[in-house]
Amino acid sequence: MILFPAIDLFGNACVRLHKGDFNALTTYNHDPVDQARIFEEAGCTHLHLVDLEAAKSGTPVHLHILESIKSRTGLKVDFGGGIRNEEDVHTCLMAGADQVNIGTFAIRQEERFYALLQDVGPEKVILSADRDGDTLKTHGWQNDAAISFWECLDNYVREGGKYVTSTDISRDGTLTGVDRSGYLQILERYPGLKVIVSGGVREASDILQFKGTGIYGVIAGKAIYEKKIDLMEINRQLNHSSDAD
């Protein structure tokens, strides 16, 4: 299983939101590249990089930071935020993203998204199916989608999708713990899907509880920045016996 430390970008800095609220923003590091190198030195191999400004505006803002992280680290980076068309996806991949997280475009423009999925291949795409309960959210979590969370996943799996990140918005940035049963329900319903847990991680046990369950990975942000998780120790435990490729 993979630990994905998160860097959320706003104003060229590493920040975290509370339940997706842009009015509840905390800055943790003004140098995202430095932060990425800290993660790598602690044994991380992957990075979850989100352009929060782009998620609101609908156009990528921080591609230069993606390029810098890829040139100065060996991290595998999945990048998301504000990706609303095919050109944005190709631009992110050209800037160095190993995978692209796609939410609003995938949900609002399904036919175009699934054509893109076939074009770039399912290994390059992660569906961002972010939810508040069973309500699917779009546009940086500001709007409700016209389809349900489960309908979205049904369509995605049917079209050959392989990876999904599902952020539990009600828990994101709260350090209140992870809805374990909710994520295992996703895995039970779609056993071939590589499910990435996001939202609510507060301590190492919130991550380690998924080890051996078939969950592909867990994203952690605030708990790392608040030093509630020892990155080197948890990477050591995860690497002892990995159940993910």
Strands 131-132 and 135-138 turn out to be antiparallel
Catalytic site positions = 8, 130
**49: part of which helix (H) or strand (E)?**
strand 46-51
Q: Which of 243, 180, 170 is nearest to 206 (CA)?
A: 180
Contacts of 82 (CB under 8 A, 6+ apart): 51, 53, 54, 55, 56, 57, 58, 59, 60, 61, 88, 140
Nearest residue to 160 (alpha-carbon basis) of 202, 120, 131: 120
Query: Which helix (DSSP H) or strand (DSSP E) does residue 25 occupy?
Result: strand 21-29
Instruction: Count the residues in the chain.
Output: 245
